[in-house]
Chains A and B, each alone.
Chain A
Amino acid sequence: MSNSVPSHEADLSTKPAVTGSPHPPLTLSQPEAEGGLLRMSDSDAALVARTLGGDLSAFAALMARYRDKFGRYAFHMLGNREDAQEALQDSFVRAYRALGACRQPERFGAWLFRILVNRCRTVRRRLQRDRQFDGDLPDDVPSNGARPDSFEWRDEIGLALDQLRPHYREAFLLRYVEGLDYAEMSEMTGAKEPALRMRVKRASDQLRELLRDVHAG
């Protein structure tokens, strides 16, 4: 990676206003402020154009811009750093290969995020296949749902998320953590909005049930 490429930390709370178009654009990308100035020359569209012109350092800048922001989603979706990094790396490469098909380069982030969501689905399916759980317990051993007294809150959440169906987990993260609205989620996942609402509700209900005792304790 070129040393001259600035490292941008994505604003995690960013969510630009939804436009009035029938299909509101996915609004995950916008130029970041650095030192109080908006560096329009570093906009996603500019970096995409430079990349298509053969400037790999421009693509490196895009990756640095979105790695942590999207890495958060991948980490929670897949449950660990290594799988998240694999999914993200894979997504970057796929995005590069298909960059010419990105019709709205100013919304490169949203376009990249969709690639990542799909990659996470693929990795998740593979993980589910590898880790087949056996519910059998010997008759003389009671099931044990006990937690250490101070199992960290983030581990409690991680365990609870792990127990959700992948589609429920995905919907919950997209809605409440990544802040997408249902139209954006539908465009990203291909699922209809009523189905997505149901998934979010069920994920919420299940998380509430799984974490209720921990929260109260």
Chain B
Amino acid sequence: MSAARTLLVSLLLTLPGVAAAQDARLAERLDGATAASVQQTVDSARSRGLPTEPLVQKALEGGTLGASGDKIVAAVSALHGQLGRARSALGRSASESELTAAAGALRAGLPPSALSRLQSLRSGKPLVVPIAVLTDLVAEGVPPEQATRSVLDLAREGRPDDEFVALRRQIQIRRQGGTADPMNRPALRPAADPPVDR
């Protein structure tokens, strides 16, 4: 962590109320300066009505995976930005789950316009599943344009969440050469029961 940042954080820590609100997990798992910097970002997110737990988890992830303080702070800051952009794309009516999922989609390189369009086509129905499927398709290597087109087509037709899940499963099985172990279900997981083939 840079000297300037350390000095700034130390000064902030002297302000009343700042240290008191710190998430105990950050203090336990990260060095003091990193924890304070992350806490500042968490507090900023909270004041803007953005989800804070994903930010804490991102910091803990970095701590467990052995990342430097600078990298942890940068990753948390980037996620904060993505959550803000998700809010801009989906508006104030979006739930925290939807914002978190949307932030992941933005991280995957999908544009806010795709999320806005998806929301418009879904007409108030929850967005977590279609956003998750869209993000996962891109993560599986489907070109973003194709993934966006497929998911928007389903949304435009008013299809239920099951069909989004089925789309993802089809893509995954196809990309694995049709050798997916049914007991190691690749699809979104509603339960631990054996999968139903579609």
Contacts and interface: CB of A to CB of B under 8 A. Distances in A.
Nearest to B88: A137
A135 B80 CA distance: 15
A83 interface: yes
A80 B77 CA distance: 35
B156 A81 contact: yes
Given A82-B158, A130-B124, A155-B117, A136 B111 contact: no
A83 B144 CA distance: 28
Interface string B56-96: 00000000000000000000010011101101100111000
Interface class of chain B by DSSP = helix
Interface string B110-133: 111110110111111100000000
A144 B152 contact: no
Contacts of A137: 84-85, 88
Contacts of B88: 133-137, 143
Contacts of A150: 145, 149
B95 to A, nearest CB: 13
Interface string A97-114: 000000000000000000
Contact of A155 (B85, B93, B123, B152): B152
Contact of B77 (A133, A135, A140): A140
Contact of A130 (B93, B112, B152): B93
A76 B153 CA distance: 16
A147 B81 contact: no
B157 interface: yes
A81 B157 CA distance: 7
B48 interface: yes
Interface residues of A, number: 30
10 contacts: A131-B92, A132-B91, A136-B84, A137-B88, A143-B88, A147-B113, A152-B152, A155-B117, A158-B120, A159-B120
B69 to A, nearest CB: 18
Interface of B: 48, 77, 80-82, 84-85, 87-88, 91-93, 110-114, 116-117, 119-125, 144-145, 148-149, 152, 156-158
A82 B160 CA distance: 12
Contacts of B149: 150, 152
Contacts of B113: 145-148, 151, 159
Contacts of A148: 110-111, 113-114, 144-145, 148
Contacts of B120: 79-80, 158-159, 162
Given A82-B158, A148-B148, A159 B93 contact: no
A144 B111 CA distance: 7
Contacts of A134: 87-88, 91-92
Contacts of A131: 91-93, 119
Contacts of B92: 131-134
Nearest to B116: A159
A152 B91 CA distance: 23
A149 interface: yes
B50 to A, nearest CB: 9
B123 A82 contact: yes
Contacts of B87: 134, 136
A136 B124 contact: no
Contacts of B124: 82, 130
Contacts of A81: 121, 123, 156-158
A141 interface: yes
B145 A133 contact: no
A202 to B, nearest CB: 21
| A-B CB proximity, top 3 nearest | A141-B81, A82-B123, A80-B123
A138 interface: yes
Nearest to B80: A138
